[in-house]
Structure 1
């Protein structure tokens, strides 16, 4: 298709140039602080659960893989004994 045949359906969107921002690598809070996770401590587990009640992924929380698995297990235990809700607010 040549340029003459192309029909412009409005203005083109202008894209903002990317700014080079420095992003700090997230560090696992359990590895660094040697903090113990416990299913009975609802306040510490709420930081790793979204407002809808979903468990937040590693890329957002910054936990390592082994601690993310353990954290998921503790959140599910807390939900089972009704320390944390299954659904959000």
Structure 2
């Protein structure tokens, strides 16, 4: 019998965050890679609903210039 896949515990549910706000760049920066792309659900452990909300919040924050689009050296 193959091993069961590990269940992820959503970090937003653990923290009690119901709405991921685009005006919180410190929270959003935790879910962005070194090259400023959004991390996948596999790496973050978020649920599908929260991953979609996270992606839209990051995109809004980028448009409002709260987060950078690319990394500058």
TM-score (normalised: structure 1): 0.68
Give the aligned partner of residue 53 of structure 1.
36
TM-score (normalised: structure 2): 0.82
Q: What stretches of structure 1 of length at least 5 have no aligned partner? A: 1-23
- Of 46, 52, 67, 1:63 maps to 46
Deviation, 1:37, is: 1.6
Would you identify which runs of 4 or more consecutive aligned residues in structure 1 move more than 3 Å? none
Task: Return the structure number with greater relative CO, CA threshold 8 A, min gap 6.
Answer: 2
> Which of the pair has more CA radius of gyration?
1
Deviation, 1:33, is: 2.1
Q: What stretches of structure 2 of length at least 5 have no aligned partner? A: 1-5
| Equivalent pairs, count | 67
- Cα deviations by residue, 1:19-74 (Å, 9 ceiling, x for unpaired): xxxxx643111122221421111000000000101000000000000100000000
**RMSD (CA atoms):** 1.7
